Amino acid sequence: MTVMTSSSVRFGSSLDPYLRPRVEEVFDRLQQHYAAPRPATTPTPGYDDADFKTVFGAPSSVAESTGESDG
């Protein structure tokens, strides 16, 4: 087995050791991602806004009228 063959089996490619991110780099990128403001959401044109509110988290009319809450 040659040196090139043994190193490619161990690392997959000659650049692989240099392309692996350090834990600190991953942590920093995650912090940046979660600290960034979320973009405003808008319903897709052609759909009713009330339907989106019903499906994705607006209180149901039953809970509003009775004062009950989930939980």
Domain coordinates of the chain in residue numbers? 3-66
Structure tokens, 59? 């209180």
CA torsion sign for 30, 23, 25, 19 is: negative
- Residue 55: its pLDDT value, please? 85
Residue indicated by tokens 């050791």:
17
> Contact, 8 vs 14, CB < 8 A?
yes
DSSP string, 6-36: HHHHHHSSTTHHHHSPPHHHHHHHHHHHHHS
Please give the Cα distance from 60 to 63 (Å, whole number). 5
Q: pLDDT > 90: what percent of the chain? A: 23
What are the pLDDT digits (tens) for 20-45? Answer: 889 999 999 999 999 999 887 777 78
Mean pLDDT estimate for the chain: 73
